[in-house]
Amino acid sequence: MANKQVPNKLKKIVVIGGGTGSFTLLSGLKKHSVDLTALVSMADDGGSTGILRDEYGVLPPGDIRQCLVALSDSQSLRNLFSYRFSDGTFSGHSFGNVFLSTAEKMTGSFENAVELAAEVLAITGRVLPITTTDSRLVNTFSDGSVVVGEFKIAHSKMKSKPILSLMPQSQITKSAQLAIKEADIVVIAPGSLYGTLAPALLVNGVGKALAGTKAKIVYVCNMVTKPNQTDGFKVHDYVSEIERFIGANCIDIVVYNTDEPPPSLLKKYTHEGEYIVDFDLKKMHSAHYKAIGAPLIDAKPVDKLDGDNIAHARTLIRHNSDILSALLLSL
């Protein structure tokens, strides 16, 4: 891959996740002298990504695109790959998604498509799909009924903890497995608990790799709750679910937000039913992991992008990438 090379002596940081959570984290970490690898969840089937998957039989490009854009230093290329068409045949599609799907069809390999995009964007570090199995996320209810599809599951009402699986069962790639094994720090990024993080951690081999690595495993907890999904969740509840998907209590450090934004900010940038994630110091103090709290809310939440057909589903309050990356590196 024609990426910028980094010396072996640099700390190896692996970020697991996808979408805006990984984008925020990678945008801050890339400013520091680290060997950075993003392992990206591959179950997305909403919006532009879902249409491309259904019409062309390609693997989901959306979360990969966001991570690639985060690691590029060229503002013009970042803007190009993030550009969304607002009308016509490509309405709702981002150029980056179309590029990756075209490259996959041309090369016959999604991994080759990602390498080509990384070369064009001249990224710092690496972006790797955590699996290349074409799988769909499945939620099985206690009565035997099922819901299929990441987007449907991530926006459906959870009456109890979901029983999630991938169909067919996906397998971790050798490159992703090696990245976890050789890492100094593995960071599980903030993101949709059941829509982004679960399908990454449920990939066959990921749990084993995380349980076996010598790296410190850090989980960056979400900023706000998700209506009908994580209502009433506190920091330790998120950690419990993350480790349920991993299949082991292997998280060493949890980073969480202690900032309380003004009501005006919450009213403007949160959806109905979204609340700042609370924390229980007593429960975290007795846990097997170390909990580190800090004021992490970005004072400038992101704006909705023109042409984004699922913008209504996205949370606009974000972590401050500079503060968060500095905190992680201080570990």
Q: Tell me the per-residue pLDDT of 304-323, one tens digit each, with 9 for 90 and over.
A: 544 444 444 445 788 999 99
Write down the pLDDT at residue 39: 98
Output the pLDDT for position 87: 87
Residue 146 forms beta bridges with which residues?
140
**Inter-CA distances, 32 with 14, 94, 101, 317, Å:** 14, 28, 31, 24
Res 108 pLDDT > 50:
yes
| pLDDT score, position 302 | 57
Task: Give the pLDDT score at 84.
Answer: 94
> Are 321 and 24 a contacting pair, CB within 8 Å?
yes
CA 312 to chain CA centroid, nearest Å: 18
What pLDDT shows up at residue 314?
47
The fold adopted by the segment(s) 12-330 is: Rossmann fold (3.40.50)
User: In this predicted model, what pLDDT tens digit does every residue of 200-216 receive, in sequence order?
Assistant: 999 999 999 999 999 99
pLDDT in tens, 148-167: 999 999 888 887 889 999 99
Residue type, 238: Y
320: tokens are 């401050």
Mean pLDDT score, 177-182: 98
Please write down the HEC assignment for all residues of 276-327: ECECCHHHHHCCCCEEEEECCECCCCCCCCCCCCCHHHCCCCCECHHHHHHH
Instruction: Look up residue 199 and give its two tokens.
Output: 């399908």
pLDDT at 196: 95
pLDDT in tens, 2-18: 555 554 578 999 999 99
Where residue 271 falls among pLDDT bands split at 50, 70, 90?
confident
pLDDT of residue 301: 58
For residue 286, pLDDT beyond 60: yes
Least confident of 47-56, 85-94, 241-250, 308-317: 308-317
Q: Which two tokens stand for residue 135?
A: 């799988």
Structural domain spans, the chain: 12-330
SS3 assignment, position 240: helix
* Rounded average pLDDT over 217-229: 95
